[in-house]
Each structure stands twice: as structure tokens, then as C-alpha cells.
Chains A and B, each alone.
Chain A
Amino acid sequence: MSGVSLKSIHKSYGTVKVIEDLNLEIHDGEFLVLVGPSGCGKSTLLRMIAGLEEITDGTISIGDRVVNDVPASQRQLSMVFQSYALYPHMSVRKNLAFGLQNLKMPRDEIERRVAEAAQILQIGELMERKPRQLSGGQKQRVAIGRAIVREPQLFLFDEPLSNLDAELRVQMRVELASLYNRLGTTMIYVTHDQVEAMTMATRIVVMRLGVIEQVGTPYELYSKPQNLFVAGFIGSPKINMIKADVVHSDKGVELSLPDFGKFTQPGMQTSDGKMTVCVRPETFKVGDTGAIKASGTVKLVEYLGSEIFVHVALKSGQSVLVHASGNQHFHVGDDITISVDPDEAHYFDAAGLRVERTEVGVAA
């Protein structure tokens, strides 16, 4: 096992900068997920760690060794590809053994490792099949098996579940998490699916346009997003963003929200006249028990059994999403009152950066 250190990483294709001055320490034995929208540079970063892509500038170390000029084959890592990248003309057994044969490993040892991987991933009965005879989930298991047999210092996963259907994705997510618990090896996992990131990661790196927006545990990212982008990206369904005017800011800020009215957040400082108040759907309360409230009309009801998402059109025309428990009843067109405690909301300045409170808020 070993950690990975990325220092001042730059990557450009011609004049197009893909990654700019990226610094990241990946700890030994952690399950780190790189998440971000398409084109944010997460896969490029993973491929640079793998040695499949050259870095334009900076230093990549795996363990204590700088690997900038070390070929992929000698970085002691394994990678699982989005397309599985199984050798189509080889049986599952040969797919698993291929890398070990290249390392000139004794036959007994190859057989032992292949058998062990087959047992861990429960693919024993598939060993003589060709990839085309496997289902998507089975292919994915074989691809993971091929990574396991190398007994690498580091596992890299490039969106490995994105080709699977929703049900299988959930199942494989659980299997990957238990594999991580079993092996304890450092894993770096790329996905654009924040649910995958939240459910599997010990730490998440949120990226946008080649820059790290925030690094933290799933809880930290969810409860303290450092900027508007992270607030919007983490959490499903998406957080509600409400524009607010800052009316007064001597000992804090007095905010004016359309529909919700004015309230004060003492101990909060901002020089700008505008803020964004973000409220997660599950933070809203149906009814007026929260400190600030607004009324509106039910526009759409998404019933999911144990929970309900209610789309509410507020009087100003703004639409918000509210979470409610599944035993409540809503109908399109109903008048509804929603409320929230200001301390449970997130505040961002005009530049989109988090504004922290130092004191408990007081409703106006």
C-alpha cells in the first residue's frame, strides 16, 4: 500500500489547459473519489497517475518514489477502465493471468492468485468464457479481478460503473466498498455521479475546469460546502439556491429574501450587496415551524414511497424543492407553507464563496 502525492500538476494539450496547479495528498489506504462534471479533468488526472498520460509540469509520487518518468507497468498499480478493456479474444482465466505472465511470475503463483481473485469475486464458473459471453456485471467483476491479481499498491478506477444499469450499479457499489474494506489498499476512483462518490469515498475531491474546488469527507462536503459549485454538485436532489439582498452588515448581515422576508445573521460578514442562500430540500419544513417561512403552490409531486419531493412555486415565481416523508399527502395546486431555520441554510457571497456564521441567527 502507498499514498500518492500530486504537487503543482499542470496538464495542457497545446494551448488548452486541462489541469492547472493541482496539489493533492492521497493518504495511504484511503478510498479517494474524484468527482466533477464532464470535462473537469478528473479522468485526465487519473490517467496521469496511471502513467497513461504525460504531465506537462509538476511531480507525481507514489509512496516515496517520484514516478513522473516511470512507465505505467512499473508504477505497481492496477486500473479498471470504464469500458472494462477486457481482451476479447482471451478467456476470463487468460485475462486475469495476462499481466502476471508478463511479469514472468511462476505458473503456480499465477494460478494461486487467479483462483483467489475468482473466489473473491465469485467468477469461478466463468473462467473459461470469453468476454462476449459475459453480462455487464460479470465483465466488470473480471475487470476488477484483473486488477486484484496484480496485488498492486494502488487501485485506479475510471468510471467503472457507468456502463451498468441502475440496479447493477448499486450492487457493484456495495461490492466495491466491501472489496475496499477487505483489501485496504489505496483506491482512487473517478466518477461524475455524486451518489457513487458519497456512498463509497473516505474522502472526495470535487473538481471543476481542471481545478480542485474542495477536498473533504462526504459529511464535510455535504454539511459545509466551500462554494456554490460544491453546494450545487453534492446532494441529491440538488440544493435550492435563493438570491438574497444584503440589507445591512454592521454586526452581521441582514438578508432580504423574496418570499421569505428579512432576517439577520449576526457574526456574518460580507462586503457585497448580494448573497446566495442555499437550502437543501430536506432542510425545508412543510408548515410554519421554521423561523422564516414562505407560502406557495404545489406544482409537482414526486412520490418515491418512503419519501416525497414536492416542487413548490413561491409567490415571487421562484420554484423550490421540498423533501417530505412518504406518509404525507400533497396535490398539485394545493396552497402550501414551507419554512426553514436560517442556521440550517448555507450562505455564499457574490463570488460564490462560503460565508461562515460565528453566532446563532435571529429571525427578524
Chain B
Amino acid sequence: MKKFLQKNAPGYVFLAPWLVGFFFLAAGPILASLVLSFTKYDMISPPQFVGLDQYIFMFERDRRFYKALQVTFSFVFLSVPARLIVALAIAMILDKGIRAIGIYRALYYLPSILGSSIAVAILWRQVFAGEGVLNTILAQVGIDGPNWLANPSVSLYTLVTLAMWQFGAPMLIFLAGLRSIPQDLYEAAEIDAASKVRQFFAITLPLLAPVIFFNLVLQMIDAFKTFNSVFIISNGLGSPADSLLFYTLYLFNEAFKFFRMGYASALAWVLLLIIAAFTFIAFMTSRYWVHYENERD
């Protein structure tokens, strides 16, 4: 023990600020939320242990929980591939060695920094409102646009579009991935009579698979956690007609609007398990489609 401390103490000293932060600010609340998920707790009276009741209620009787799951899954399945496709497309354009690439890179990355901010969500609401900027433009060419955010049949797609617009981070990672593919391979493929499309599917995509996988997992987790934009755009309600009732919004409202902390904690843990399950599935399937150059056999 003494030897261990002598050897590792300096490392732990340097880690101390992070460890203190993790145990008191993250691990503590995480464990507390797990305990609270087995209780009824309104923040005024003491928590009341109810066993698995919260979870049973959630799965057996809570229709809004299923609605929130449906909205969130739809959003994840639509927005993640869409964002990745847009990010890859833009990265491929920027990879062509155009002039002033730094400026373009910064410009394209900007929405990602601003994207989850309140200001942009408000701006987005102004653009897509019934009498917003978009419909005003459409009216000029004789198109009577719907209320993109108030119409339950299109509101989710509007959110997906907003998500697509925030492609900066995956785009930068794709760009780095594209740059790491040796040019020789494309030249060999060129001599091997592979068309540009064939080169994309036979060279670029397989060699980019580790990066695609990395982006997929990160973006999927990100999409499951979408909150800021939907909170602003749906006025914190998930309206219209619960069409924007994202899981995190439902969780937030249960916790801080109805003060059902125990139930909100249970919802949080279910979300964690869902994200873990999807991440696990992604890792399991990756062995069939992700090729690592330095992988050991």
C-alpha cells in the first residue's frame, strides 16, 4: 500500500480536482437519482420508498412516456443519419482543397456552437412560425406554407432540419478522417478503373467506417439528450399535441413542473439504459462493418 501510494500519489494529486468534482457533483447526484427513482419525492416532504412502483407505472400506465419515447426515437432515427449525411457531404466538399478552407470550416462549424443555444432556438422559432420568415418568403412565390412548428404533422421534421443544420462537429471529424485516407489508394483505384461513385463506396466509406461509427455513437447520444431547442420551440410543453414531447422535456416537466422527482429520476435511469442499449448494439454490430487499420487479429 505504501509502495502503491509512493508510486501513484503524484498522479492522484493531479487528478484530485477532477475526482472531487466527479464524486461530489456527478457521482453523488447520479447515485441519489437511482435511490430517488424508488421513492415518491416532491422536494418538500421526505422521500417515500415505493419500490418498483414508479417503473411499473411508467411501463404499464403512462401513455405520455410512450409518446415521449416515440417522438424521441423518431427524432433520433431521422436526425442522426440526416446530420451525418450532411456532415459527410460538406466534409467531402471541403476536402477538395478549396481556397480559404479555414474560413469555410469556421463558418460551417458556427451553427454547432450556436445550435444548441437559446438564442438560435428563438431565432429558429421566428423563422418557422406561422407568419415567420420562411412562410413570408414562400408567400412571395405563391406558396401557402404551414405553420412549421404548430402543425403536429410537420413540427418534428422542422426540429430534424434544425438538427441537420448543426453538422459542424461531425463534419470536422469526418474531414480529419477523409484527410487520413492515403491518396495512393484513390490513385490505385483510378488505375483499377473504379468510377468516383465506386471509389466512394469501395474506398472512402469502408476506410471512414471507424469515424462514421464514432460520429454515430456520439450523435445518437446527443440526439437522445436533445432539450434546449425543443424546450424553446415548443414553449416547454412539447406542443402541439405532444408532437414535440421529447423524452428529456417530459422528464424535465415531471421533475421541475410537477415536482415528481422520484418519477423523473426513474425516467432518467430508463433513458440511460436506452442510450446504453443503443450504444451496445452499435458496438456489437460494428465488428461487421467497421475496419480498423491497426486492428490485431
Within 8 A of A (CB), among B281-297: 291, 293-295, 297
The residues in A between 302 and 325 inclusive whose CB is less than 8 angstroms from any CB of B are none
- Taking a contact as CB atoms under 8 Å apart, the answer to whether B207 and A81 are in contact is no
CB of B293 within 8 A of CB of A81, answer no
Does B194 contact A102, Cβ atoms closer than 8 Å? yes
- Binary interface encoding of chain B residues 62-104 relative to chain A, with 1 for a CB under 8 A from any of its CBs, else 0: 0000000000000000000000000000000000000000000
Interface residue B192 (Cβ < 8 Å from any Cβ of A)? yes
Q: Tell me if B193 and A89 are in contact (CB < 8 A).
A: no
Instruction: Give the residue of A73, A98, A146, A150 whose beta carbon is less than 8 angstroms from that of B202.
Output: A98
B190: Cβ under 8 A from any A Cβ: yes
Does A71 touch B at the CB level, under 8 Å?
Answer: yes
Which A-chain residue is minimally distant from B206 (CB atoms)?
A89
A132 engages B190 (CB within 8 Å): no
Quick check: which of B30-38, B164-172, B181-189 contacts chain A, the rest being far away? B181-189
* Also in contact, A83 and B193, with CB within 8 A (given A52-B187, A88-B291, A132-B293): no
Closest residue of chain B to A73, judged by CB?
B193
Say if the beta carbon of B191 comes within 8 Å of chain A: yes
Whether B190 pairs with A52 at a CB distance below 8 angstroms is yes
Which of A78, A83, A132 lies in contact with B182, CB distance below 8 A? A83
A120 to B: closest C-beta gap in Å: 19
B203 interface hit (Cβ, 8 Å): yes
A195 at the interface (CB under 8 A from B): no
The answer to whether A85 and B207 touch across the interface, beta carbons within 8 angstroms, is no
Q: Are B191 and A102 in contact (CB under 8 A)?
A: no
Which B residues are CB-close (under 8 A) to A133?
297
A77 touches B192 (CB 8 A): no
Is B293 in contact with A85, judged by CB distance below 8 angstroms?
no
Which of B191, B203, B293, B297 has a CB less than 8 Å from the CB of A99?
A: B191
The interface bits of chain B over 183-218 (1 if a CB of A lies within 8 angstroms of the residue's CB, else 0) are: 011011111111100100011001101000000000
Q: Please determine whether A87 and B191 come into contact, CB atoms closer than 8 angstroms.
A: no
* Distance, CA A51 to CA B187, complexed state (A): 10
Closest residue of A by beta carbon distance from B295: A132
Please state if A132 and B294 are interface contacts (CB–CB under 8 Å): yes
List the B side residues contacting A72 at CB < 8 Å: 187, 190-191
Q: Are B190 and A85 in contact (CB under 8 A)?
A: no
CB distance from A48 to the nearest CB of B (A): 13
* Residues of B contacting A103 in the complex (Cβ-Cβ under 8 angstroms): 193
For residue A361, give the distance in angstroms from its CB to the closest CB of chain B: 52
CB distance from A212 to the nearest CB of B (A): 25
| Nearest chain B residue, comparing its CB with the CB of A50 | B191
| A71 touching B190 in the complex, CB below 8 Å, given contacts A132-B294, A132-B295, A133-B297 | yes
Q: How far is the CA of A130 from the CA of B294 in the complex (A)?
A: 11
Q: Are B190's CB and A87's CB within 8 A? A: no
CB distance from B209 to the nearest CB of A (A): 8
CA distance A77 to B187 in the complex (A): 13
Q: Interface code A312-353, partner B: CB below 8 Å = 1, 0 otherwise?
A: 000000000000000000000000000000000000000000
Distance of A86 Cα from B191 Cα, bound (Å): 13
Chain B residue nearest in CB terms to A77: B191
Q: Known: A81-B184, A85-B187. Is A102-B293 also a contact (CB below 8 A)? A: no
Q: From B188, which residue of chain A is reached at the shortest CB distance?
A: A85
A71–B189 CA distance with the chains assembled, in angstroms: 12
Which residues of chain B come closer than 8 Å to A150, judged between CB atoms? 192
Known: A88-B293, A102-B193, A132-B295. A79 touches B188 (CB 8 A): yes
19 contacts between A and B (CB under 8 A): A50-B187, A52-B187, A71-B190, A72-B190, A72-B191, A79-B187, A79-B191, A81-B187, A85-B184, A85-B185, A85-B187, A87-B185, A87-B189, A87-B202, A88-B207, A88-B291, A89-B207, A102-B193, A132-B294
Known: A88-B293, A99-B193. 20 other contacts (CB 8 A): A50-B191, A52-B191, A78-B191, A81-B188, A83-B184, A85-B185, A86-B188, A98-B189, A98-B194, A98-B202, A99-B194, A102-B193, A102-B195, A130-B297, A132-B294, A132-B295, A132-B297, A133-B297, A146-B188, A146-B192
Leading 3 A-B pairs by shortest Cβ distance? A99-B192, A73-B193, A85-B184
